[in-house]
Structure 1
Amino acid sequence: MNRKAKIAVFASGSGSNFEAIEEACRNGDLHAEIVIVVTDQPAAFVVERARQVDARIVAFQPKAFQSKNAYEEAILRELNDVGAEWLVLAGYMRLIGPVLLTAYQSHIINIHPSLLPAFPGKDAIGQAIAHGVKVTGVTVHLVDAGMDTGLILAQQAVDVVDGDAEKTAEVIHAVEHELYKDTLNVLFRR
């Protein structure tokens, strides 16, 4: 199979997962090409990272739209324009709504910094530290209408580093980059 999957990367923050995905695509380690980067935070550093590699960027502020559906319909038009086949969430801090869920059923993937179903939602690492767990991890899952409730595709455990959220996050990010790439390659080569 020579054809690469056409992916849209969704991100809201610094873009470290976007950068890892882009590098894996460029090096041939991920059987995909990024056709667009979507962000809900036009000032996020992911925009700068995307510019550095000449990626097409869509930076819409949800508040500028009358509804969540209108926001997602605008995104969907952009996705259709570039032929995106998969939505790869990489630190995208919004729940995906019915417009995109319907258009990309079973083709929206997310990565989350915990062993789901434990610690869904925001600040999963902080939640793990606050609960005093010794092991947390990373989960790659399909996206559904819930918050981090979709079918789990892959997980990897990560030891909590001395109750230190920052050190634990560093380890988790390294695991995320590899686990996401490996899981996406399995999906894209089906």
Structure 2
Amino acid sequence: MNKPILAVLASGRGTNLQSIIDAINRGQFSAEIGIVLTDKPHAGALERAAKAGIPSLCIDRSKYNTKEAFEKELLSVLKDYKVEHILLAGFMRILSPLFIREYKNRILNIHPALLPAFTGAHAHRDVLAYGVKISGCTVHFVDEGTDSGPIIIQAAVPVLDNDTEESLAERVLQQEHIIYPRAVGLYLNGSLEIKGRKVLLKE
């Protein structure tokens, strides 16, 4: 049986990419990362991919005049590598509805807050500014909104009185590395069913 082919899209250090690589290597689920794509030429994810022997490519957003042209190139590469499923791992670009429809219900994302609260790119800053006592992370399907797709799994962490963005981010990241591979495994094993806004675990 052929392994499902994944693409991981990242913009930064690639620690969630590493958690997926490690999960595959220890047999947590069966899959092949066909390509790692970044939008930044110095993203650490490129180094992690190279170390793991995974093809990688930077499609530098600054080289494209329009979002449409950038996404067209992304889709072209995904097609070339026969990608079936996409994992967003710190990819700091909002994908267009046109792109998302090409992979409807086949794109997963990890967000560093307990959705639907604190969407967007500055979750930890917003959490601390609001003064909540619990934060965490969320794995969800990507729909045409921003951080608004059906939720697969969440994990909570306490927000401490002396937290900075960095200390909170580090505590949340530890949970991200646990729940993202878990969610990917459930998804690839066919254990998830989307019903409206809910994601159900099949018996």
**TM-score category (smaller protein):** over 0.9
The change in CA–CA distance for 1:68 and 1:133 in structure 2 (over 3 A counts) is same
Distance 1:123 1:31 in 2: 33
Between the aligned residues of both structures, percent identity stands at: 40
Aligned partners of 1:72 and 1:100 also within 8 Å: yes
1:125-136 equivalences under 5 Å are: 125-136=124-135
1:108-119 equivalences under 5 Å are: 108-119=107-118
Aligned partners of 1:6 and 1:32 also within 8 Å: yes
Distance 2:75 2:162 in 1: 41
Match of 2:169 in 1: 169
Aligned positions, number: 189
RMSD: 1.3
Q: What's the offset of the Cα at 1:31? A: 2.5
1:181 equivalent to 2:174? Answer no
Aligned partners of 1:21 and 1:30 also within 8 Å: no
Match of 1:57 in 2: 56
Give the secondary-structure state (helix, strand or coil) at the position aligned to 1:177: helix
1:25-40 equivalences under 5 Å are: 25-40=24-39
Match of 1:81 in 2: 80
Match of 1:102 in 2: 101
Distance 2:68 2:30 in 1: 31
Give the secondary-structure state (helix, strand or coil) at the position aligned to 2:7: strand
Q: What's the offset of the Cα at 1:76? A: 1.0
Equivalent position amino acid for 1:77 in 2: S
Aligned partners of 1:132 and 1:163 also within 8 Å: no
Distance 1:112 1:3 in 2: 30
**TM-score normalised to structure 1 length:** 0.94
Match of 1:48 in 2: 47
Give the secondary-structure state (helix, strand or coil) at the position aligned to 1:93: coil
Equivalent position amino acid for 1:151 in 2: P
Q: What's the offset of the Cα at 1:37? A: 0.4
Q: Which moved more, 1:27-36 or 1:101-110?
A: 27-36
The change in CA–CA distance for 1:82 and 1:139 in structure 2 (over 3 A counts) is same
- Displaced runs of 4 or more, over 4 A: none
Match of 1:71 in 2: 70
Q: Which moved more, 1:36-45 or 1:25-34?
A: 25-34
Match of 1:155 in 2: 154
Q: What's the offset of the Cα at 1:163? A: 3.9
Match of 1:15 in 2: 14
Distance 1:59 1:100 in 2: 18
Structure 2, unaligned stretches of length 5 or more? 191-203
Q: What's the offset of the Cα at 1:23? A: 1.1
Structure 1, unaligned stretches of length 5 or more? none
Equivalent position amino acid for 1:167 in 2: S
